[in-house]
Structure formats: C-alpha cells, structure tokens
Structure 1
C-alpha cells in the first residue's frame, strides 16, 4: 500500500482470497511500492479532498482530487494543497481561529472536467455527503454545462476514508477498462459496504461549523463526556457517549464489530493529531478483525475543522 509520509499501514498477515484491490500497475494494495501507469482510460475518476486519499494513492489510481476550501480567520486555503494535516493541527494549538469550510467553486470543477475530456471517454465524479456540503451540487452544475459529454456525479453519502474506499472501488473498475455504467455500479455498490465511526474530544468544533443543528442542542447534555458519532447513508448521528478516552475507544471498536461481524475488512484509522493512540488502535484492530489491511492516516484539514483536535475515527470497507 503506498502511503503518505504522515500515514502508516500494517499487513496483518491474513491473506483472504479476492480481498485486494488490484492496482493499474498489476499489484495489490499492500506494503509493496506501486507505480501506476498513466494511460488513456474509458472513464476518468474525480473526487474531492474530503475523501482523505493520500497523494500517493490518488496518483497510483489516477484519481483527480479537487480540494475543498478552508478559512482560517482571513486566510483562504485549499485543503491538502496550501495546508497539510500536521501544520493545520499545530496551528490549532497556537491560537483560537475562526474556522469555516466551503465547497470548491464551480469553475474548478469545469477546469478539471474540461481537461479530463481530452483523455477519457467519460467521467465519474464521487463526492462528500451532499447533506453537509454543497460539493455534490457544484459538481452536478458543472457536469450540466458540459452536456452531452457523459459525466456521472455520485453522492457517496459519507466522508473521509469511507468516501475514499468508494472512490477506490470505482477507480479499480475504471483501471480495468470498465464502461461508465459499470464503474457507477461498482461505486454505488461500495457505498453500502462502507461505514465510519468516530469519537470526538468535544462537540465544540462541530457546533462552530454550523452544519449540525443537533450538536448545538446536545452540547449542554454532553459536558465531560466524549461523543461517539457515525456517518452512514448521508446522515451523521450521535450513537453514544463515553466518560473516558478508553471507554470511547472501546465503543468505537464495538460499533465497528457490530457492523463488520466476521466479514473481511479494510480499515483506516483516522486521527486529528492523536498519532500514538491511532497506532495502538491499529494493533488492536489487526488482532480483532479479519483485516486485509489496516491504514493509519491523519484527517484532512477540511474535516479536522469540524472534528477538532484529539479525534479518532475508523473507516471500514467490507469485502465480504
């Protein structure tokens, strides 16, 4: 598995047949180095930075990533381009910022789509849950301006590496030369196979972001507790709370176990600066679940704005 310098992966030693995405270079996601070939494809794959894909994964699978925007006081930054996770979380410890996020402008989608038209017969554009971001609608508006060129815009219904796993499923099909209809089918099929659970140190950053009305209503009832949230099918909801950090992590694992059961899984451990805990959690996951692979990745800044420091999350893709 190619990894960003801030990420890590572990091969659990459990090789389950049919559980690897095979890359365009002919190699599987694994610890080996992958070097993808940039060839003309039937379908080009586009996503946004909320998918939390590392640069190396995006390059290997020839995925175009359009950055969302972050506002830190009066400074406008492109997520993952002008600011990286380590810098972002360091800056959060230095002073309180006025933080806001926004979708990419329609013009950025148009530029990407126009460029990809030159080397692909069609485009699939997979984006962060439409319930909490205007990114999906901006992509649809851009696609409408390029009719009759075939562009299929898909709402992943999720975010972070849960969205990333959906994008990678589509990229695998596209790399194999599948038609647009088949690539879309694979992407939509993957949506039902992903899950995302997380524990936050506080709801403060969620409330500041203004995207979740229920968070503002509940914040007074969750004093001195850590909320456990889940993102599934375009809904981010509170599924529990914990008094201590250890209890919160146990509940994360239990929530994942309830969904995954005995299925073969790919899991991404996501963190907003809690790298040591994330690495420990990786080892627990590798021992507890039928893992094909476990990744550890920092949360991209545009999601960190809403999660805040100290958050831990588990994104899961169920292979079967």
Structure 2
C-alpha cells in the first residue's frame, strides 16, 4: 500500500515530472463560445490565438464530479491511500467538492479508506511545488501525516509574483473594477500581483513592465539572501521569449538554470497573454 497523489490541471507541473512521480492530474474546464473543453486537451498556442479574437473571455469550471470521484476511487479501490492537493478554494470550488462530496462518496464506498484533501491556497507552480513535495515524500514511503506536513511546509515558504501585460483581462474577469483598469492604463501603472491567503492581491505597483520585472527579481534575491533557495521556475502566458529572458536574468544573478513553463487556459484567460512571473520557495 502506498500514498497516491492527485492534483488538478492548474498546477501546470511539467509533464516529465508528472510522469516521473506518477501524479494524477484531474482537469478543470474551459468554456469557449458555449462549448465546454477539458483544459488538458487544449493546446496552449491554439487557445491563445483564439482568445485574441473572442468578443468575451472564456469561463472556467471545476472538474466534473465523475472525474474527481474516479481519480480517488481507482486508488482507494486498490488499497492505497490518496491525497489530493487542489487549486485555492478562493479561486475554484474544486477543493470544496473534493473535501465534502467526493470524500463522503469514497468513505461510504470504502469505510476504512484513508483519503485526505488539501487546499493549496494557490495555483500554478506555487501549488505545483507543494504537489511535487507530496509525491517525493510518498515515494520515500513517508506516512500520510509526514506527507501533509511536507506540503504545508512548502506552502508556507513559497511565493508567486507576476506582472500582467494589460489589466483588461483582470477587469473582464471581475478581478478589478473598470475605473481601476482605465486609471492603470492611462498612467501605465503595472501592478505586480501575488497570491496570498488563496487570493490574488497586489504586491506592488510600478510604472513599466521592465521595472516590474526588476522588482520581482529584487524580491527573489532578498528572500533567497534571508532564507535560502529551494527551487525557482519562471511562468509565462504565451510569451516564451519574455519568459526565457526573465529566466536568463535570474540565471545571471543566481548562477543556476531556471526552467520556464507556460500557464494554461484556465488561469491564462483570467490574467491574459504576455504575463510573466516567478514562482519559488525558500529553504526555511
């Protein structure tokens, strides 16, 4: 018997790591022109080309009850324990559905089962690093309590800083008001966003995107100096060249190779193309 790790598609964990650690990914949905699609079945390049032509931004939805139930049922039925780590409950109902409905369904079918669900209070690789920590500890044969403790430790030491290219998608998605978006556009204010307590919030505001990038790197350096570096990755939304440039800047400073990972449609449609950012966690 072992502990199986389940997460959702908004973790955007690189495919090779998903396969290496045998992580199960349940897909959130994206509704484009009233047609529902699973995020994991959408090609990022095609999606972002389509997004530019749409009159209204797509909407997202949590995984189906069947997909969530089956992801746990397959492992519990084989005698394994299962741990799910999902997108912030402030951003999606996925965690609540798993922690309430799915867990009840599983326990009704398997009264002696061990199933746990964690609210990552984040998304993208900020969640992904917590998922990977869970998978590594499970592979080492750690107990459920030890795996959960490891996840919570990564959560407490991680940070996600990103800068959108425009405020328009945040405005359309209801993340900011129309007046704030207009004001920001007129003054060319660039908010540096972060995720705190499960919600998107403003970390800082600067006048240009380049200054925002420098501010993000400055914060990364400060945190590493004070607490050491665990891991770091660069995210981008359909702007690989910008992502690569940011990764190279970090490499120049830290002397380490930095991977880049494109953010998919569920998060991308709310923040918008040409967004770049950094996810990292510290050693302590």
- TM-score normalised to structure 2 length: 0.91
Distance 2:198 2:223 in 1: 17
Q: Is the 8 A contact 1:265 1:290 kept in 2?
A: no
**Map 1:120-135 → 2, pairs under 5 A:** 120-135=79-94
Distance 1:297 1:145 in 2: 35
TM-superposed deviation, 1:197: 0.5
TM-superposed deviation, 1:96: 3.4
Aligned to 1:8: none
TM-superposed deviation, 1:215: 4.9
Q: Is structure 2 residue 6 aligned with structure 1 residue 46?
A: yes
Paired positions, count: 276
TM-superposed deviation, 1:42: 1.3
TM-superposed deviation, 1:161: 0.5
Distance 2:79 2:52 in 1: 44
TM-superposed deviation, 1:48: 0.4
Alpha carbon RMSD of aligned pairs, Å? 1.8
Deviations 1:107-128 (A, max 9, x none): 2111111111234521110011
SS at match of 1:146: helix
Aligned to 2:248: 283
Aligned to 2:97: 138
Distance 2:270 2:104 in 1: 30
Q: Is the 8 A contact 1:125 1:153 kept in 2?
A: yes
Q: Give structure 1 stretches of 5+ with no counterpart.
A: 1-40
SS at match of 1:317: strand
Q: Is structure 2 residue 183 aligned with structure 1 residue 221?
A: yes
TM-superposed deviation, 1:216: 4.9
Deviations 1:141-198 (A, max 9, x none): 2012211321110011111011000000000001111111111111111111111000
Aligned to 2:16: 56
**Alpha-carbon distance change, 121 to 63 in structure 1, aligned in 2, over 3 angstroms:** same
Residue of structure 1 aligned with 2:69, choices 85, 88, 110 = 110
TM-superposed deviation, 1:209: 2.2
Aligned to 1:23: none
Q: Is structure 2 residue 260 aligned with structure 1 residue 296?
A: yes
Q: Give structure 2 stretches of 5+ with no counterpart.
A: none
Aligned to 1:260: 224
Q: Is the 8 A contact 2:223 2:282 kept in 1?
A: no
**Alpha-carbon distance change, 319 to 312 in structure 1, aligned in 2, over 3 angstroms:** same
Q: Is the 8 A contact 2:21 2:135 kept in 1?
A: yes
Distance 1:313 1:184 in 2: 27
- TM-score normalised to structure 1 length: 0.81
TM-superposed deviation, 1:131: 1.0
